Chain A
Amino acid sequence: MSKFILFLRHAIALVREDKLFSTIYVAGTAVAIASAMVVAIFVNILLADIPPESNRSRTLYLTSYYRKASMGNGEWLYTQFSTEAIDSCFRRMECVEAVAGFMSYLHYLDYKVSDMDGQHELPVSFTPANTDFFRLYDFTFLSGRPFSEQEFQNGEPVCVITERLAKSLGLGLTPNPSPAGEGQNQQPTPLSHGRGAGGEALLLADKPFRIVGVVKTVSYMLMNAAADVYIPYKVEGIGLHPERQTNIPYSGNLDVHILLRKGFTQQDFMRELEPWRQRYEAVASSQTGEETGWRVWANSHFFRYISFFYSRGQEESTTLKVMNLMPIALLMLLFLLLPAVNLSGLVSNRMEARRAEMGIRKVFGAKRRWLLQEVINENLVLTLLGGAVGWGLSWLFISLMRHTREFQTLFVSEDSKSFELSLDPAMFFTPTLFLIAFLCCAVLNLMAALIPAWRSLRKPIVESLNQKR
């Protein structure tokens, strides 16, 4: 321990001794780490379990295609799912814990909400969903509860809104003291209103909806869960058409996201689905009187967003995941490589200045390996300092960039009229990101210090000692 403290004191003394060198080195490292960490944070936002999308690692995203013998060219046609597909098939599967059915495309339409007086009219994006939507996505309820199965089945005009919308409508709802992340499990609690009874409902597309819950606002960087209003998709009278008027029973207008039980994988799901699929094809063929085919593709969250070397239908595996992460890792390495060359130049200059010191220490018996290790460790202190600044810079960069339309387009449609790209600490400060930042620092440090230090220490003692004569 005392050895470590001694080393640390020595390293800090060196940092303070040459402030110019330290400042330039820290700045160079910060830019390198910031560039690499922007990439890492972006990937983290896309892939990590961030509330309310806390179950991304167990989520499957389904797409479906069908074809009928009468469709001459033999093409498979894209279709979404119907309520019947959810209830008669997916919900009955053993590996499935919840089946969220919802209509996502409505985000892009011009729907507006207002309070019951028709005042405070605001454009909103809303998601008509079933009750499992609140099991898959772990919303933090500040007040109230999700809509119940009964309210959903009866198509009651009820809604869950975000805190942001509640505030915009001037509802002034009192936060629920229950702990975060227990959205779907907590006991229903009554809403309390800052503006009296008028605040418990709102008008959506001119139809009154009773507010049953208020959730913490979800950043639109979490694309699947984000909306301003959540309503049962069985509500009638506002132009929702969750079912399709076709004779293909499983074909509808619903997106389906599956929450797998713990321990099950995408392959398990596909294996279990196969007999259901075959049975459905047989039933559909007999019902329509012609041969009907049905295909379902299930993508895990990872392959939905990172698919450099992945084509739909390919079996998902860890090796494939690693392969798909390679381009990102290479980009990060590139962002570290160029600054490493630059930092190597600085270290080389510094080692020139310390040649006499190294010569004396070698005369007194210090081995080259020890000295090399010491130089690298001393350098690591500076690199870690730069790393911390770089991490801060990457956060600052993303915070500023999120206000630009170019950045927003990566998460929301250009047609979206209402969205908030707020940042959550879970997007930046996770153990994985910490580990990545540390690894980046270590790699950068090695790349920058190893060669110049080695070159300098290889010089003969006499030459080193003669340097200042």
Chain B
Amino acid sequence: MTLKNFWAHRGQNAFIFVEILLTATLSFFALDAIVVETYNIYIARASGEFEKEHLLVGEVKNTIALSGVMSLDSIFAPIYALRDQVQSLPEVQSVSLVNESFSGRFQESSWDSVRTETDTQCLIAYEHTFVSGERFFETLGLTPAPGSPSAEELSEVRGEDNVVITRSLAQALFGTEKVIGRRLVWGGKYHREEDKKHLTVCGVVEDVKAIESQRYFYSIFFPNGLWDNSPFMLIRLKPDADAGAFLARYDMPDLRPQEGAYQLTTLETYNDYKKNHSKLGEAHMVSTMFGLFLGILLLNVMLGTLGSFWLQIRKRTEDIGIMRSFGAKRRDIFRMIWQEAALLTFVACVIGQAIWLQFAMNDLLFMGVHGYDALEHETDWVAQFWPHFLTVCGIQLLLMLLVVTLGITIPTVIAMYRKPVEALRHE
């Protein structure tokens, strides 16, 4: 019956069929990006991430203009004094200065290739720096993996070639977490060959999701000195301290920590800081832009279905009247029209997706905003072609069905509730 109706109205349905088909093809990439980024942001989680409720992020700035030529020591001395002042507050457990906010300015984090010295296959890892001697790991709350030096010892790591890596990276590169002293080759594949560096692993810490859209938790921490005269300050409060009360006190300018020209100009919880900055992250922007594009296309499909089915149902009022007078129930009418629309959507969508498949097979499946092109060894659904393609196809089909159902609802409900006598008298 549905197939018969579908075929009988093929002329009237042709335009909406073409529109759904084109929309399915043209919107696939946008939907793919949104699905992957949503998975990356909200679903992919690092196991055993650090405690965030008692972690605060502040910005240190000079509030008075500096004059004359100043030595580095004279610039940084008041910053260290400010840090000590914050450290001495009773609620504070530890403080760490960082040149750029760790896990805050997501879009600014850089990545590069990494491999073992004996391997040729590369992974992509994120690069983070910490200031040696600044109690970075204990302040952030990153727990060392078994067999790794303590957080206090890792915070003291120095030297250009020494690094700390995450547990996932150790597993992916060496197949074990016990990798102290093992060697890595950092960079070179995507940038210049001369940027290649040979590194020694000094410690392994728990996975951390440093970038909003990070799917694989491969990170490398490089020790560094303090060079930024507007650094960030990570503050870990004691477990029994109230972060809200601490921030309320900070809001009173007279109580705000200050040392010479330097002041802790902003202070917020790690979660708030991350939330405020994530909106500006590349992944969020990509999702928003593609979301707008997709929204416009779907709105068009909805209007198209609404118009097309409304005019069609008006023409079929007499048929509906006959069906109703022969005992068809209202839900039968709705089911008949919905099945017709669903079949049309299904066929158009599948053909549209089959067209996009040609592009998808030529590397046009979205893998993420950051360079994920070394995926050969990954086993999650995003990295696998068919699971990835079919997942997005399924979501697209459901979305289209939803939009088309919304489009047919008003005309169908009107047809359902028309009295059989009235419907039969319709011209």
A residues apposed to B, CB below 8 Å: 20-21, 24-25, 27-28, 31-32, 35, 110, 205-206, 237-239, 334-335, 337-339, 341-342, 344-346, 348-350, 352, 405-406, 409, 414
Closest chain B residue to A27, Cβ basis = B303
Additional pairs, 17, CB under 8 Å, beyond known A349-B311, A414-B277? A20-B310, A27-B303, A110-B61, A237-B65, A237-B67, A334-B26, A338-B19, A339-B303, A341-B19, A342-B15, A342-B303, A344-B15, A345-B12, A345-B14, A345-B307, A405-B280, A409-B280
Q: Is B306 an interface residue (CB 8 A)?
A: yes
Closest chain B residue to A348, Cβ basis = B15
| Cβ of A128 to closest chain B Cβ, rounded Å | 13
Q: Is the CB of B67 within 8 A of A338?
A: no
Q: Is the CB of A24 within 8 A of B65?
A: no
Chain B 1-44 interface mask (CB, 8 Å, partner A; 1/0): 00000000001101110110011001000000000000000000
Chain A residues lying within 8 Å of B61, measured Cβ to Cβ, are 110
Closest chain A residue to B296, Cβ basis = A35
Q: Is B93 an interface residue (CB 8 A)?
A: no
28 pairs, CB–CB < 8 Å, chain A vs chain B: A20-B314, A21-B311, A24-B303, A24-B307, A31-B303, A32-B300, A35-B296, A205-B64, A205-B65, A335-B296, A338-B297, A339-B304, A341-B19, A341-B304, A342-B15, A342-B19, A342-B303, A345-B14, A345-B16, A345-B19, A345-B307, A345-B308, A346-B307, A348-B11, A349-B312, A349-B315, A352-B12, A406-B288
B residues apposed to A, CB below 8 Å: 11-12, 14-16, 18-19, 22-23, 26, 61, 63-67, 265, 277, 279-280, 284-285, 288, 296-297, 299-301, 303-304, 306-308, 310-312, 314-315
| Cβ of B281 to closest chain A Cβ, rounded Å | 10
Q: DSSP class of A's interface residues: helix, strand, loop or mixed?
A: helix
Chain B residues lying within 8 Å of A27, measured Cβ to Cβ, are 303
Q: Is the CB of A239 within 8 A of B12?
A: no
Chain A residues lying within 8 Å of B303, measured Cβ to Cβ, are 24, 27-28, 31, 339, 342
Q: Please report the C-alpha to C-alpha distance between residue A440 and residue B306 in the assembled complex, in whole angstroms.
A: 23
Q: Please report the C-alpha to C-alpha distance between residue A32 and residue B307 in the assembled complex, in whole angstroms.
A: 15
Q: Please report the C-alpha to C-alpha distance between residue A35 and residue B277 in the assembled complex, in whole angstroms.
A: 28
Closest chain A residue to B263, Cβ basis = A110
Q: Is the CB of B284 within 8 A of A238?
A: no
Q: Please report the C-alpha to C-alpha distance between residue A409 and residue B282 in the assembled complex, in whole angstroms.
A: 11
| Cβ of A241 to closest chain B Cβ, rounded Å | 10
Q: Is the CB of A346 within 8 A of B19?
A: no
Q: Please report the C-alpha to C-alpha distance between residue A352 and residue B9 in the assembled complex, in whole angstroms.
A: 13
Q: Please report the C-alpha to C-alpha distance between residue A393 and residue B307 in the assembled complex, in whole angstroms.
A: 20
Q: Please report the C-alpha to C-alpha distance between residue A27 and residue B302 in the assembled complex, in whole angstroms.
A: 11
Q: Please report the C-alpha to C-alpha distance between residue A349 and residue B12 in the assembled complex, in whole angstroms.
A: 7
| Cβ of A343 to closest chain B Cβ, rounded Å | 8
| Cβ of A402 to closest chain B Cβ, rounded Å | 14
Please pick, from A20, A341, A406, the residue contacting B284 in the complex, using a CB distance under 8 A: A406
| Cβ of A9 to closest chain B Cβ, rounded Å | 25
Q: Please report the C-alpha to C-alpha distance between residue A350 and residue B314 in the assembled complex, in whole angstroms.
A: 12
Closest chain B residue to A21, Cβ basis = B311
The 8 closest A-B pairs by CB, nearest first: A345-B15, A239-B65, A342-B304, A24-B307, A349-B311, A341-B19, A28-B303, A346-B307
Q: Is the CB of B299 within 8 A of A31?
A: yes
Chain B residues lying within 8 Å of A206, measured Cβ to Cβ, are 64
Q: Please report the C-alpha to C-alpha distance between residue A82 and residue B136 in the assembled complex, in whole angstroms.
A: 41
Chain B residues lying within 8 Å of A406, measured Cβ to Cβ, are 279-280, 284-285, 288
Please pick, from B12, B23, B284, B306, the residue contacting A338 in the complex, using a CB distance under 8 A: B23
| Cβ of B369 to closest chain A Cβ, rounded Å | 15
Q: Please report the C-alpha to C-alpha distance between residue A348 and residue B312 in the assembled complex, in whole angstroms.
A: 11
Chain A residues lying within 8 Å of B66, measured Cβ to Cβ, are 239
Assuming the contacts A110-B63, A334-B26, asked whether A345 and B280 have C-beta atoms less than 8 A apart, the reply is no
Closest chain B residue to A347, Cβ basis = B15
Q: Please report the C-alpha to C-alpha distance between residue A21 and residue B303 in the assembled complex, in whole angstroms.
A: 12
Chain B residues lying within 8 Å of A344, measured Cβ to Cβ, are 15
Closest chain B residue to A25, Cβ basis = B307
Q: Please report the C-alpha to C-alpha distance between residue A344 and residue B307 in the assembled complex, in whole angstroms.
A: 11
Chain A residues lying within 8 Å of B22, measured Cβ to Cβ, are 337-338, 341
Please pick, from B11, B284, B306, the residue contacting A24 in the complex, using a CB distance under 8 A: B306
Chain B residues lying within 8 Å of A32, measured Cβ to Cβ, are 300
Q: Please report the C-alpha to C-alpha distance between residue A31 and residue B22 in the assembled complex, in whole angstroms.
A: 17
Q: Please report the C-alpha to C-alpha distance between residue A409 and residue B61 in the assembled complex, in whole angstroms.
A: 22
Chain B residues lying within 8 Å of A348, measured Cβ to Cβ, are 11-12, 15
Q: Please report the C-alpha to C-alpha distance between residue A340 and residue B64 in the assembled complex, in whole angstroms.
A: 60
Closest chain B residue to A344, Cβ basis = B15
Chain B residues lying within 8 Å of A25, measured Cβ to Cβ, are 307
Q: Please report the C-alpha to C-alpha distance between residue A21 and residue B277 in the assembled complex, in whole angstroms.
A: 46
Closest chain A residue to B299, Cβ basis = A31
Q: Please report the C-alpha to C-alpha distance between residue A251 and residue B371 in the assembled complex, in whole angstroms.
A: 36
Q: Please report the C-alpha to C-alpha distance between residue A348 and residue B11 in the assembled complex, in whole angstroms.
A: 9
Please pick, from A28, A239, A341, the residue contacting B18 in the complex, using a CB distance under 8 A: A341
| Cβ of A29 to closest chain B Cβ, rounded Å | 10
| Cβ of A271 to closest chain B Cβ, rounded Å | 35
Assuming the contacts A21-B311, A406-B284, A406-B285, asked whether A345 and B300 have C-beta atoms less than 8 A apart, the reply is no
Q: Is the CB of B310 within 8 A of A31?
A: no
Q: Please report the C-alpha to C-alpha distance between residue A465 and residue B18 in the assembled complex, in whole angstroms.
A: 30
Q: Is the CB of A110 within 8 A of B265?
A: yes
Q: Please report the C-alpha to C-alpha distance between residue A406 and residue B290 in the assembled complex, in whole angstroms.
A: 13
Q: Is the CB of A239 within 8 A of B67?
A: yes
Q: Please report the C-alpha to C-alpha distance between residue A348 and residue B308 in the assembled complex, in whole angstroms.
A: 10
Q: Is the CB of A341 within 8 A of B65?
A: no
Closest chain B residue to A239, Cβ basis = B65
Q: Please report the C-alpha to C-alpha distance between residue A237 and residue B65 in the assembled complex, in whole angstroms.
A: 7
| Cβ of B27 to closest chain A Cβ, rounded Å | 10
Q: Is the CB of B307 within 8 A of A342?
A: yes
Closest chain A residue to B277, Cβ basis = A414
| Cβ of B298 to closest chain A Cβ, rounded Å | 10
